[in-house]
Every structure is written in C-alpha cells, then in structure tokens.
A and B are shown apart, each in its own frame.
Chain A
Amino acid sequence: GESVGLHLPTLSVQEGDNSIINCAYSNSASDYFIWYKQESGKGPQFIIDIRSNMDKRQGQRVTVLLNKTVKHLSLQIAATQPGDSAVYFCAEVYNFNKFYFGSGTKLNVKP
C-alpha cells in the first residue's frame, strides 16, 4: 500500500527560529498533499495544502514545498512560537476521497 512517512519523529526548536518538518511519500499518483497540526487531546487541524502540480505554496507563516522528483514534502514554519508546539502530520490524498496520513512529527518550541 501507499506509505507516507516522516524523517524526524521529534523536532525541538528555539522560539523565534524557523522550523522545517519533512515528509516522504512513495506513490506519485496523489492528487494533493495536506499538512495538519494536532494539539494534545484534540483533533487534527488543517494548516495548508498543495496540489500535486505545484512546487510551493505559502500561507501565513507557513510554506509547503513539494519535490516530486524525490517524493518529498516539507512544511516550513517561520518565527516559530510556543503555540506552534504540537504534532504535525502530512497526508497524501488520492482521488480526492482517500487520505493517507504519516505517523507525525512532534514539534517542541523552547521559550
């Protein structure tokens, strides 16, 4: 089956620094990719998505990069804040109906 994985299970950054969370995927037939943030005890929250025909997309303080050559996805968070501490998941979407999630990266922001 498809696999979506993350390079680092835990990432610690200093407040104010930029964070980069990585994700690898194995299937090139996806329609698009999504990044979610999940705080403890809560459901995932949509951050940003990117269509498979795009290389880069920017949101507020976040940028997603898609490298289809090496099947790699990354989420960049600028000026990381304590409120950014959470688990971040990438998800691969097929046929706009089926979502496959990675195992997650825990981001710790040190004040």
Chain B
Amino acid sequence: NAGVTQTPKFQVLKTGQSMTLQCAQDMNHEYMSWYRQDPGMGLRLIHYSVGAGITDQGEVPNGYNVSRSTTEDFPLRLLSAAPSQTSVYFCASSSDRGNEQFFGPGTRLTVL
C-alpha cells in the first residue's frame, strides 16, 4: 500500500490564483481530513470527511473548499489564494472516526 499520498510536494502561487491540492489513500479509509501547519505551531484542522459525499468544517475552513466524491480522494481547493495561506498542508486518513490517523508527507505552499 502507498498509504496517504499528496501532490504536489511544493507549490508557489500568486495572490488570487486558484489551485487544488490532491490527497489520495489506498487503505479504504472512511475518515479523511486536511490540516495546515504554520511555523512553530501545531496542526489546525481545515476540513474533514467521514465518508464519500460527506464533508464538514474544521477549525480554520475559510478560504478552502473540499469535496469527497470517492472514498480514495479528498482534494482541497483554494479558490483565490492569499499570502495568509502560505503553510504546509497535511492530509490524513483513518479507518473510522477516532482511530489512528495516517498522515501524508505534506504539501509546502507559498503564496506571493
């Protein structure tokens, strides 16, 4: 199993540009989530999903959209990037809510 994969690993955007961060898992996990990690801080939950077709907001959802059309994929969309969204983004999955989460390697995003 590849586990949780994220693409791209690095991305530089200009203010106002849009992009999608990809996340996929091959473990048939129902629960998936997106976090951002800023320097010297812990992870903050952006959005999460408890299964295909179901998403909900986390702690810092503004400026981000998600969808969950399949069990495997959970993309994160930035519609109009802002410098405040410069961060490292992690995707995670678990077999059920409350179980051990497996994290992807992260995407480092810089918004100029």
Given known contacts A31-B98, A89-B42, A89-B43, is B103 in contact with A97 (CB within 8 Å)? no
B40 touches which of A31, A43, A98, A103 (Cβ 8 Å): A103
Q: Looking across the interface, which residue of chain A has its beta carbon closest to that of B105?
A: A43
B35 neighbours in A (Cβ, 8 Å): 99, 101
CB proximity of A61 to chain B, nearest CB, Å: 18
Residues in B whose Cβ lies below 8 Å from that of A20:
none
Assess whether B100 is in contact with A46, with CB atoms less than 8 Å apart.
yes
Instruction: Report Cα–Cα, A4/B4, bound state, in Å.
Output: 26
> Interface residue count for A (Cβ, 8 Å)?
23
Taking beta carbons and an 8 Å cutoff, which residues of A are in contact with B?
Answer: 1, 4, 31-32, 41-46, 49, 89, 91, 93, 96-104
Listed in ascending order, the chain B residues whose CB lies under 8 Å from chain A are 4, 31, 33, 35, 40-45, 48, 50, 56, 58-59, 90, 92, 97-98, 100-106
Given A103-B41, A103-B42, A49–B59 Cβ distance below 8 Å? no
Pairs across A and B, CB under 8 Å, 27 listed: A1-B59, A4-B42, A41-B105, A43-B4, A43-B106, A44-B43, A44-B90, A44-B103, A45-B103, A46-B101, A91-B43, A93-B98, A96-B97, A97-B31, A97-B48, A97-B56, A97-B97, A98-B45, A99-B33, A99-B35, A99-B43, A101-B35, A101-B43, A101-B44, A103-B41, A103-B42, A104-B41
List of B residues within 8 angstroms of A98 by Cβ:
45, 48, 58-59
CB neighbours of A4 from chain B (8 A)? 42
Give, as a whole number of angstroms, the nearest-CB distance from B50 to chain A: 7
Distance from B56 Cβ to chain A, minimum over Cβ atoms (Å): 7
Minimum Cβ distance to chain B for residue A22 (Å): 14
Residue from B4, B43, B58 with most neighbouring chain A CB atoms (10 Å): B43
- Measured between C-beta atoms, what is the minimum distance from B68 to chain A in Å? 14
A27 and B90 alpha carbons, distance in the complex (Å): 25
What is the CB-to-nearest-CB distance from A84 to chain B, in angstroms, rounded to a whole number?
A: 18
